[in-house]
């Protein structure tokens, strides 16, 4: 649908007067006709756009901007006050709970809180969460509306307003309000209420105690329109992980920066991580917060294939920022790095030995392989996790940005330092040239589980990952994507998700899922009256959180594999495709139907025969479409069989509807599709070759027998035919074996690697032809009828075999 229709269907009725008057502004862009429309001239020329028209339009636009800005500001202040009031109420209830626990021998001055008190507080907080969600949707829709009306104005009037109005938008930045502070505060309060005053305690350290850990991780893309709603959905189940609860929340506290190293001549780390070869490594240096952070984590990721019986693991150790250059250059030894740690005695000798071994290996690889900084990734991370409990961890990375860190192309970006110093955490890094930066258009959601074998993830996680809010992109890598994007002239092998960047990942809600407002709230929006209507345009505002996805029970992503089962990409490929229709998203206003509503309205004003003609054309078009759809539905034709979802445990990877598209790599590039290769694949290829070899030996034995014991031309011809067939099969099988092993080694996704239809067909047909021709020639020569052999089968005296 067009944006105007999308805006009308998505409006919250409670906020209706405060939305941008998009239709009125669009009508204001049309000047009067030079002459009135007549049946002979139904579309006369319009008057040129004048300065008075521009002044009138800009005045209306300014008025709409002021209206939206004031409402957003007032509503945001109202939410802040409601959060403060709720914080006082929650603290009061929790203090009453603490008093009731402490009182043993004394009489309580205040009664302890009841379950109804916590339930009421939960409803109040849920109502505030719904308000935050509604305000975020209001802001997003209005900002999109202003952008589209400005684009339409510049296109139709040729008076370019976009540069000027951008400054006015920045003066009233209603769209720049950051809701992260709301999310953090609401998460803390909701967690207190949900746990009835007994939140989980634990260490919320950013990583000091996490050295070597194995997780099962799935990754998803999240459109910017769904980021706030997704955060609000998650905080109802997991609290926001705050690393320093005693410190007031600041945006830079959520910033994470990483510097990835590689060899620009070979790109061996990039190639290894992309192809997922056994033992492929990624080496990066990471810090949390601003550039003033003194603690740098040196991390190494190692990929392990399932057939090895090991799991991919990330290991890291901390290093002072002032020592990074000396350590990477080899001027500082590993013993010097951990000398202070040994003296403090806070870690055991075995732990320190493991860290020293890791540091020694990282230093050796950086020096011997000539690794240098190539790519920086920056993002703000919102982590959801119970403190001290890493069994379920969800992280959402927003404002993801990739920056070049190399010294290639004649520019010294990082110089001799381990990172460039001309940028910090000042997103969007407007000081950088376009060729040095790539701003990723989506947020990245990572679901990390440490579940035991046979244990299923929680139901709410399965519902979340199966919802319309996320798009699964298994094994997405910020390092791989950033490197492929920032070095287009040096990287020719692209990741499999790269072509998907040109498609819109937004999906319509396929079930009732999202943020809902409690029915007991006193500030319910009008759209909640039709909560039983599945076709309501406000599904996200009135949906429940615990519904199950209809027809989608293929929860299998985090199932433990034994090396013989499919990996994530292969499971997606094997998943049934119920349809290949694109998602109905709203398009630009530049796309019109053959007879749109504006033309029909103008024809109505003209009246007469022209209006009757346009009205008839409109209904003929609708009738033709309905007939075509009906005929297409009843015409007998092959139809795809919709298979039931696969029964397995884990998390939903993709929704019930997916698009089936064929992508083509850019000129000079190749798209790498992950292919699972295990040692048994090589053994299978070898066994196939040995089977061909056995077949060729049998044919060769038959040919040798006929050649040695045959006495006539028929036997000689047959022996030559069997010899040629045997030699051909032998040479063909040898070449096929060599070709297959080469493709398997290169991990090429070629059908003939596993399927060959021509070789067996030709050999079988050739064998049948040789046998039939030999039999036919023998019968024609009268070998049995001429009496060469007696009836008893014994040779007469003088006969030769």
Q: Which residues are catalytic?
A: 478
How many of the other CB atoms lie within 10 Å of CB of 472?
A: 22
**Residue 463 tokens, joined:** 């519902």
Which residues contact residue 665 at a Cβ distance below 8 angstroms, ignoring those fewer than 6 apart?
494, 499, 671
Is residue 65 within 8 A of residue 168, CB to CB? The reply is yes
Is residue 405 within 8 A of residue 419, CB to CB? The reply is yes
Looking up tokens 């990996």 gives 567
Which of the 8 DSSP states describes residue 589? Answer: T
> Rg of the Cα trace of the chain?
35
**Residue 219 tokens, joined:** 């990754």
Q: Where are the beta strands (DSSP E) in 357-388?
A: 372-386
Is residue 384 within 8 A of residue 241, CB to CB? The reply is yes
Looking up tokens 């070899």 gives 693
Distances (CA, A) of 368 to 238, 361, 364, 418, 479: 44, 10, 6, 17, 21
**Rounded Cα–Cα distance for residues 11 and 3 (Å):** 12
Query: Beta partners for 222?
Result: 443
How many of the other CB atoms lie within 10 Å of CB of 797?
A: 4
Which H or E run contains 301? strand 295-302
**Rounded Cα–Cα distance for residues 186 and 128 (Å):** 8
**Rounded Cα–Cα distance for residues 593 and 581 (Å):** 20
- Exposure pattern of 1-20 as b/e (b: 16+ CB <10 Å)? ebbbebbeebbbebbeebbb
Calculate the CA dihedral of residues 381, 382, 388, 392 and round it to 10 degrees.
Answer: -100
How many of the other CB atoms lie within 10 Å of CB of 696?
A: 21
**Rounded Cα–Cα distance for residues 672 and 746 (Å):** 11
Q: Which of 619, 334, 271 is nearest to 479 (CA)?
A: 271
Which of the 8 DSSP states describes residue 420? Answer: -
Distances (CA, A) of 229 to 133, 134, 470, 633: 6, 9, 11, 38
**Rounded Cα–Cα distance for residues 470 and 328 (Å):** 39
Which H or E run contains 398? strand 389-404
How many of the other CB atoms lie within 10 Å of CB of 559?
A: 18
Q: Where are the beta strands (DSSP E) in 409-498?
A: 437-439, 443-449, 471-472, 493-494
**Rounded Cα–Cα distance for residues 596 and 159 (Å):** 26
**Rounded Cα–Cα distance for residues 34 and 42 (Å):** 12
**Rounded Cα–Cα distance for residues 692 and 690 (Å):** 5
Q: What's the longest Cα–Cα distance across the chain?
A: 129
**Residue 39 tokens, joined:** 């049946």
Q: What are phi and psi of 39, to 5 degrees?
A: -60, -30
**Rounded Cα–Cα distance for residues 333 and 301 (Å):** 22
């Amino acid at each position: 649908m067009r944006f105007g229709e999308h805006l009308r269907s998505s409006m919250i009725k409670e906020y209706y007067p405060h939305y941008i008057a998009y239709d009125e502004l669009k009508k204001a862009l049309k000047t009067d006709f030079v002459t009135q429309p007549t049946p002979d001239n139904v579309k006369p020329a319009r008057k040129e756009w004048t300065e008075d028209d521009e002044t009138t339009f800009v005045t209306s636009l300014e008025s709409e901007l002021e209206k939206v800005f004031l409402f957003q500001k007032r509503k945001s202040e109202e939410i802040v006050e409601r959060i403060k009031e709720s914080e006082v109420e929650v603290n009061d209830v929790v203090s009453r709970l603490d008093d009731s626990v402490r009182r043993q021998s004394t009489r309580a001055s205040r009664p302890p809180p009841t379950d109804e008190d916590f339930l009421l507080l939960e409803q109040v907080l849920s109502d505030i969460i719904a308000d935050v969600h509604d305000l975020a949707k209001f802001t997003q829709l209005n900002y999109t509306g202003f952008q589209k009306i400005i684009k339409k104005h510049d296109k139709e009037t040729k008076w370019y307003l976009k540069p000027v109005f951008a400054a006015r938008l920045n003066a009233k930045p209603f769209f720049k309000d950051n809701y992260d502070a709301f999310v953090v505060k609401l998460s803390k309060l909701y967690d207190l209420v949900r746990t009835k005053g007994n939140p989980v305690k634990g260490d919320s350290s950013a990583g000091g105690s996490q050295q070597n850990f194995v997780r099962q991780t799935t990754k998803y893309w999240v459109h910017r329109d769904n980021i706030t709603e997704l955060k609000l959905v998650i905080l109802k189940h997991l609290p926001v992980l705050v690393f320093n609860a005693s410190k007031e929340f600041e945006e830079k506290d959520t910033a994470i920066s990483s510097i990835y190293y590689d060899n620009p001549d070979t790109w061996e780390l990039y190639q290894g991580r992309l192809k997922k070869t056994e033992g492929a490594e990624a080496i990066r240096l990471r810090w949390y917060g601003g550039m003033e952070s003194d603690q740098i984590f040196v991390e190494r990721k190692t990929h392990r294939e399932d057939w090895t019986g090991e799991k991919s693991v990330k290991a890291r150790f901390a290093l002072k920022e002032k020592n990074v250059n000396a350590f990477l250059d080899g001027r500082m030894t590993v013993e010097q790095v951990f000398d202070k740690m040994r003296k403090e005695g806070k870690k055991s000798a075995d732990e320190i030995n493991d860290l020293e071994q890791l540091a020694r290996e990282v230093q050796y690889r950086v020096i011997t392989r000539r690794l240098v900084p190539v790519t920086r990734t920056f993002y703000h991370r919102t982590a959801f996790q119970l403190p001290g409990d890493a069994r379920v961890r969800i992280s959402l990375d927003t404002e993801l940005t990739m920056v070049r860190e190399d010294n290639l192309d004649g520019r010294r970006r990082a110089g001799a330092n381990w990172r460039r110093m001309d940028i910090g955490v000042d997103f969007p890094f407007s000081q950088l040239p376009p060729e040095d930066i790539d701003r990723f258009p989506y947020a990245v959601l990572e679901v990390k589980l440490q579940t035991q074998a046979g244990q299923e993830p929680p139901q709410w996680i399965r519902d979340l990952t199966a919802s319309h809010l996320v798009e699964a992109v298994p094994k997405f890598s910020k390092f791989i994507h950033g490197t492929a994007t920032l070095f287009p002239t040096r990287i020719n092998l692209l990741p499999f998700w790269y072509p998907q960047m040109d498609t819109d990942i937004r999906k319509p809600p396929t079930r009732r899922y999202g943020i809902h407002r409690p029915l007991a709230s006193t500030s319910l929006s009008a759209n909640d009256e039709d909560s039983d209507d599945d076709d309501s345009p406000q599904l996200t505002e009135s949906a429940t959180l615990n519904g199950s996805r209809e027809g989608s029970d293929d929860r299998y992503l985090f199932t433990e594999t034994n090396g013989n089962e499919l990996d994530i990409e292969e499971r997606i490929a094997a998943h049934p495709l119920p349809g290949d229709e694109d998602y109905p998203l709203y398009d630009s206003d530049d796309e019109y139907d053959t007879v749109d509503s504006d033309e029909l309205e103008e024809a109505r004003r003209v009246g007469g025969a022209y209006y009757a003609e346009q009205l008839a054309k409109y209904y003929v078009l609708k009738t033709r479409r309905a007939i075509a759809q009906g005929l297409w539905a009843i015409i007998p034709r092959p139809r795809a069989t919709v298979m039931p979802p696969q029964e397995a445990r884990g998390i939903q990877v993709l929704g019930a509807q997916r698009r089936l598209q064929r992508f083509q790599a850019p000129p000079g590039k190749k798209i790498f599709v992950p292919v699972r290769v295990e040692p048994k694949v090589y053994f299978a290829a070898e066994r196939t070759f040995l089977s061909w070899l056995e077949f060729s030996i049998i044919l060769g034995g038959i040919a040798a027998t006929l050649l040695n014991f045959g006495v006539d031309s028929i036997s000689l011809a047959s022996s030559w035919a069997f010899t040629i067939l045997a030699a051909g099969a032998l040479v063909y099988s040898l070449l096929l074996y060599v070709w297959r092993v080469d493709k398997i080694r290169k991990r090429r996704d070629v059908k003939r690697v596993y399927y060959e239809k021509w070789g067996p067909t030709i050999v079988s047909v050739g064998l049948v032809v040789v046998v039939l021709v030999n039999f036919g020639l023998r019968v024609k020569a009268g070998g049995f009828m001429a009496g060469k052999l007696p009836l008893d089968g014994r040779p007469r005296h003088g006969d030769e075999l």
